[in-house]
Structure 1
Amino acid sequence: MTRVGSNTIERLARLGFGARGAVYCIVGGLALLAAIGWGGSTGDSESAIRWVFLGPFGAILVGLIALGLFGFSLWRFVESITDADRHGTNAKGLAVRAAHFGSGIVAAGLGFTAASLALGLGRRASGGDGMQDWTAWLLARPFGPWLVGAIGLGIVAGGIAFLFKAAKGDVTDRLALDAAHCRWVKPLGQFGYGARGIAFLIIGGLVMVAAWYQASSEVKGLAGAFSTLRSQPYGSILLGIVAAGHLAFGIFGLIQARYRHIDAPDLDETDDAVMRAVRSLN
């Protein structure tokens, strides 16, 4: 078993994995309830945070989620720049690090949403779809459809990477767990990564359709991916499987919060680590 160190960035990273895991537990749990007809809803991460906010001690819990998401974002930035996870500087390693940097941006945006709720700055329901807004803005720019198409292709590539990771079965490589625990944690992680991969394929495909037709209304996030699944033949079953997978992904995130190997430079060492990483690319 791993120990929880005193490194500040490591502590924030662990809080971040836990916050992200909790959010996906709620996303998957609510969607699963919707699939089996027991209420629930097919929402995204922001919807899950708003659901927490409306419950007991909502502002406090959402504030903790915001702190965790900022911690996860910081870890993703530091990890991708300094190569703390040692992915390397070959094409594959740089692609993974770039994807992690992108996930840090997404986590930071979600963290700002959570923080605004906790501070009472965003209590009203969201007035629009953020993905549709930025897609509409981008489509209006020169070469906008090509840029939107490239983003959609990147999301699809991320989905394929998730599916490949699930099939390869190396999801527990960075966990400090013995073989007995990995025996049940590994399929849990594979199921979660597979579900995320399917969602990414749908989301990326819809973004590419938006680029083709130059219509931002075609863009849907995770909630749209759930709705797309539900509208298919045997949709409730498909939605139930993918929703359960997102719940599994959330539980796996909570396990990562405790047992993931995190070799992060501390705050006073980060500048030196960044400079070493930059020199290694030259």
Structure 2
Amino acid sequence: MNNKKEKFARFGISTKGFVYCLIGALTLAAAFGMGGKKADSDGVLSTLGDQPFGQILLGITALGLLGFVFWRFYQAIVDPEDIGSDFKGIITRIGYSLSAVFYGLLAFTALKMIFNGGNQGSGGGRESAISTLLSKPYGQVLVGILGAIFLGKALYQFYRAYSGKFKKKVEAAELDNKVERWVLNTGYVGYTARGIVVGVISYLTFHAAFTADSDSAGGTKEAFSFLQNEFGTIVLAIIAAGLFAYGFFMFVKARYRSIGI
């Protein structure tokens, strides 16, 4: 990978970290009544669009997200880490591709907001998609499958946190011992928080499947509300702080991880 492509990929990973830091910071502020709001990725884009020079901020963010899309597709197609083409490798590379699609859609949303003057337009994307699925034959089964996919993603976050899988890459960066320990802790906390949020999204999706009610489904914002309603503000604040830690970990990852062939 040449130098320009590598910088573009690192910029993309940093932008993902920036988005997660804002999700965590906005939600943490909302939890303690200090302004802010329970935010998902779209909410972050709306917040950026409301700032002075909002369209410029959205443009930079969209460019960064496209850098992350490029990196994920590069991982999936070129396989620079030699993941392989066995069953586990294929599943991992499909996961990279799906991640690229998700962040590509987020980049498209940012670009659309630029041309709409910072307004996203009508929302409810996840609920609308689930409502569409429920209207189809075997719709509840399809939504149940979607819930299972989210569950698999949540379990994978916990696996990343506690299997030591990401630890090897951090150790390979040869950081100072204190810095390395701090970075590893942000990784543990970040992946755990992300796993909890995606796990709640899975639960809400399963509930929508069982009740045939798309209003029961939800994304990150609804997961935050569920956590606050069921477990209290302190738990919500801890999870939000964990997502901020995940964002910081992405910054470190962008700086130090290997991105060559």
Which of 11, 36, 39 is 2:32 aligned to? 36
Q: Is the 8 A contact 1:27 1:247 kept in 2?
A: yes
Residue identity matched to 2:25: G
* Map of 1:275 onto structure 2: none
Which of 128, 136, 142 is 1:133 aligned to? 128
Q: Is the 8 A contact 2:23 2:40 kept in 1?
A: yes
Residue identity matched to 2:221: A
2: CA distance, partners of 1:7 / 1:215:
49
| Displaced runs of 4 or more, over 4 A | none
Which of 148, 153, 158 is 2:153 aligned to? 158
Q: CA deviation at 1:44?
A: 0.4
Q: Say whether 1:15 aligns with 2:11.
A: yes
What TM-score, normalized by structure 1, do the two folds share? Answer: 0.86
What TM-score, normalized by structure 2, do the two folds share? Answer: 0.93
Residue identity matched to 2:35: G
Q: Is the 8 A contact 1:191 1:249 kept in 2?
A: yes
Q: CA deviation at 1:262?
A: 1.0
* Map of 2:65 onto structure 1: 69
2: CA distance, partners of 1:200 / 1:6:
35
- Name the SS for the 2:166 alignment partner: coil
* Map of 1:260 onto structure 2: 257
Q: Is the 8 A contact 2:201 2:217 kept in 1?
A: yes
Q: CA deviation at 1:212?
A: 1.6
1: CA distance, partners of 2:81 / 2:226:
35
Percent of pairs with identical residues = 36
Residue identity matched to 1:220: G
Query: How big is the alpha-carbon RMSD for the aligned residues of Structure 1 and Structure 2?
Result: 1.7
Q: Is the 8 A contact 2:54 2:118 kept in 1?
A: no
Count of equivalent residues: 258
- Name the SS for the 1:142 alignment partner: coil
Cα 1:170–1:236 change in 2 (3 A) is same
Which of 159, 166, 185 is 1:171 aligned to? 166
Show structure 1 runs of 5+ residues with no match: 265-282
Greater per-residue helix proportion: 2
Cα 1:256–1:207 change in 2 (3 A) is same
* Map of 1:244 onto structure 2: 241
Q: Is the 8 A contact 2:28 2:241 kept in 1?
A: yes
Q: CA deviation at 1:82?
A: 2.5
Q: Is the 8 A contact 2:69 2:101 kept in 1?
A: yes
* Map of 2:220 onto structure 1: 222
Q: CA deviation at 1:95?
A: 1.9
Which of 28, 48, 53 is 2:44 aligned to? 48
Q: Is the 8 A contact 2:109 2:120 kept in 1?
A: no
Q: CA deviation at 1:240?
A: 0.7
Show structure 2 runs of 5+ residues with no match: none
1: CA distance, partners of 2:243 / 2:227:
14
1: CA distance, partners of 2:78 / 2:108:
24
Residue identity matched to 1:139: L
